[in-house]
Chain A
Amino acid sequence: MLEVKDVVKAFKSGDHTIKPVNGVTFSVGQGTFAAILGKSGSGKSTLLSLLGALDKATSGDVLVDEVNISKLPDAKLTAYRRDDIGFVFQQYNLIPNLSAKENVMLPMEFAGVSRAERSVRAAELLNQVELTEDMHDRKANRLSGGQQQRVSIARALANRPKLILADEPTGNLDDETGELIIELLRSLSHEKNTTILVVTHDQALTGKTDRKFRLARGKITEITAS
Chain B
Amino acid sequence: MSVLARSVGNAFRNKVRSGAVVVILAVAIGLALSMLVANQAVADRITSLKASVGNNLTVNPAGSRGGQGGGEPLTTADVSTAQSVAHVGSVNGALTLRLSSSGTAAASATAQGGGQSGGPGGRAADGTTSLVSAVDPGTLGNRASGSTASNSSATATSGASGGTGAGNTAARAGFSIPIEATGINGSVNAAGAAINIISGAALSDFAGTSAQALVGSTLAAKNSLTVGSTFTVNDRTMTVAGIFDAGTAFDNNAIYLPLVAAQTLTGQTGEISTMSVVVDSIDNVDATKTALASALDSTRVDVTAGSANLDSAIGSLGSVQNISLIGFIAALGTAGLIVLLIMIMVVRERRREIGALKAIGASNRSIGVQFVIEALVLVVMGSVAGAVIASFSSNSIVGALVSSNTSTTTAAGSGRRAALGAAGQAAGQAVGGGTRFQGSGRGAFAGASQLIGTVSTSVGWQTLVLGVVGILVIAALGALIPALLTAKIRPIEVLRGE
Contacts and interface: CB of A to CB of B under 8 A. Distances in A.
B63 to A, nearest CB: 83
Interface in B342-401: 352-353, 355-364, 366
Given A97-B9, A97-B10, A97-B13, A55 B361 contact: no
A107 B9 contact: no
A116 B360 CA distance: 20
Interface of A: 45, 48-49, 52-55, 75, 78-79, 81-83, 87, 89-91, 93, 95-98, 102, 105-107, 109-111, 155, 159, 167-168, 171
Contacts of A98: 1, 6, 9
B492 A81 contact: no
Most chain A CB inside 10 Å of its own CB: which residue of B10, B13, B357, B491: B491
Nearest to B363: A78
A159 B360 CA distance: 10
Given A93-B353, A95-B353, A97-B10, A54 B360 contact: no
Interface of B: 1, 6, 9-10, 13, 352-353, 355-364, 366, 490-492, 494-495, 497-498
B395 to A, nearest CB: 42
B377 to A, nearest CB: 14
Given A49-B492, A81-B358, A97-B10, 12 more contacts: A49-B495, A78-B361, A78-B362, A81-B360, A82-B362, A87-B360, A87-B494, A93-B353, A98-B9, A102-B1, A106-B357, A111-B361
A89 B356 CA distance: 9
B498 A82 contact: no
B350 to A, nearest CB: 10
A90 B498 contact: yes
A102 B1 CA distance: 7
A110 B495 contact: no
Nearest to B498: A90
A54 B492 contact: yes
**Majority SS of interface residues in chain B?**
helix
Given A93-B356, A167-B495, A81 B361 contact: yes
Contacts of B6: 98
B361 A93 contact: no
A110 B498 CA distance: 25
A96 B357 CA distance: 12
A87 B359 contact: yes
Contacts of B360: 81-82, 87, 106-107, 110, 155
B361 A45 contact: no
Nearest to B366: A110
A171 to B, nearest CB: 8
Given A87-B360, A93-B353, A168 B491 contact: no
B495 A107 contact: no
A111 B492 CA distance: 20
A54 B490 contact: yes
B358 A45 contact: no
A155 B361 CA distance: 11
Given A87-B359, A89-B356, A93-B352, A54 B498 contact: no
A82 B361 contact: yes
Given A97-B9, A97-B10, A107 B490 contact: no
Contacts of B9: 97-98
11 contacts: A54-B355, A54-B491, A54-B494, A55-B492, A82-B360, A83-B361, A87-B494, A95-B353, A110-B361, A111-B361, A167-B498
Most chain B CB inside 10 Å of its own CB: which residue of A79, A102, A106: A106
Contacts of B1: 98, 102, 105, 109
Given A98-B1, A105-B1, A89 B361 contact: no
